[in-house]
Each structure stands twice: as structure tokens, then as C-alpha cells.
Amino acid sequence: MQRDSFFQKHPKITRSLKKFIHEYEEKLAPETFAAFLESLSEELTRASEDFAAVPPGPARARKLHELVEQEIAQGAEIEISCKKGCSACCHMEVEITSYEAEILATLVTEGHVIDRGRLQKQSERSLQDGQWKQGIRNLESKCVFLNSEGACSIYEHRPVMCRRHSVTSPAKNCETLDAPITLRYFPRVDLLISAANEDSEMQIGPLAKMLQMKVQA
């Protein structure tokens, strides 16, 4: 399969899977790369069809979470720096799906207490808003689900982007943002997320905006 046909067929793959593909393109002979794209395309289509077999909505999001957790568990031997209480990444903008927004909105409407004022303010910010780049130094950027102990208060229900984010560089780099941050990378997790993104009924957007829309509806 040629590169252009692949990207036309799978326009919603994640940025990191795109980067992974580009790296392979540089390393492989053209015919090997074409065969790699063919097989990747087949896997994406198969995974996308598996998701389509699950009813759209929270059940589909939970299916993705379950499969992603299984993949991540296979890399448990890789040492990561993330620990309970270190929460710099929970002060950055996280993208979620509309199905995940439904899960979070249900928790909130059923009584999970969050700072609705902060949610409102965060939902009005753009992706380019400089406050997001300040990370943990900006308390207004704190995710509304982060509790006073620096832990996720909805851990079992957290979005897929929170599940996949595992840092291998020193944790202090995430706080100071003045040194490189490296992440544990699972190509199959990216493949699953990319396959789930092929769902035309599902939207993707910033957590605060998506949640605010659902709780207001």
C-alpha cells in the first residue's frame, strides 16, 4: 500500500502513530514499507470493525479502555516515573472523546463533586492558551478531577489519554518543564486509539469543553 492511500484511508490516526510510521518509512526499503502499511491498514480496519460491534457511547469507550489496559499491562517491566501524587500532567489540556465525556458527565450528575467554576473557565480557554503551557505552576489549569492528595478521583473511569500517558524521564522534568520529557510508547495502544477514532459518530475535544457541554445539556 502506498503512503498517500494509507493516510487517505485512515485520516484519523494519532499524531504519535503518524510519527512512528514516518520513522519506519526512513528505515525500511520501499517494498517492505508498502507491505508494513498494508498490514497496519488491515489491523486498523479489523480493530475499527470490532469497536463498531459495540454500541456507540460509554460502552465503546470502556471497550477501548479495557483493550488499552491489556496492552499497557504487557509493558509493566518498563520503569516509569509516574506515581500517585505526582500530577503535573493533570494540569495540561487532555483530549477526550464524546463517549468519555458522557462517562464523566454521568459521574458529575450523579453526585461526584467538582469545581464547576473552574470547569467553566477552563472550557472557555483555547488550545493555544498560554496558561496550559505553564503546567503545574498554574493552579487554574488543575483538572477538575484531581483531588487534594494529587490523585485522580475518578481513576477507574479516566480517559484513554490519561491511561496511555506514562513518563520515563525524571518526574521533576514534568514539574519544571525545562528538561526533556520522554514517554513510554506502545504502538499497539496508538493503533487501538486510532482505530477507535475512525468512528464517525464520535467527537474528540478538550476535556473541560467536552464535559462542560455534556453537563450543561
User: What's the min distance (Å) between Cβ of 39 and ligand SF4?
Assistant: 33
Query: Which among 6-14, 21-29, 139-147, 169-177 is the span making contact with ligand SF4, rule CB under 6 A?
Result: 139-147
Render 92-154 in DSSP notation, one character per residue. Answer: S--EEEHHHHHHHHHHHHTT----HHHHHHHHHS-TT-HHHHTGGG-GGGS-TTB-TTSSBTT
Using CB under 6 A, pick the residue from 28, 34, 52, 152 that binds ligand SF4: 152
Asked if 145 interacts with ligand SF4 (CB under 6 A), we say: yes
The neighbouring-strand residues paired with 167 are: 183
Which residues ranging from 86 to 105 are in contact with ligand SF4 (CB under 6 A)?
A: 90, 94
Does 158 bind ligand SF4 (CB under 6 A)? Our answer is yes
- How far, in Å, CA of 61 to CA of 195, rounded? 12
Stretch that binds ligand SF4, among 13-21, 64-72, 122-130, 141-149 (CB under 6 A): 141-149
Instruction: Show the cell assigned to 187.
Output: 504502538
Give the footprint of ligand SF4 on residues 13-72 (CB under 6 A): none
Which positions touch ligand SF4 (CB under 6 A)?
Answer: 90, 94, 143, 145-146, 152, 154, 158-159, 162
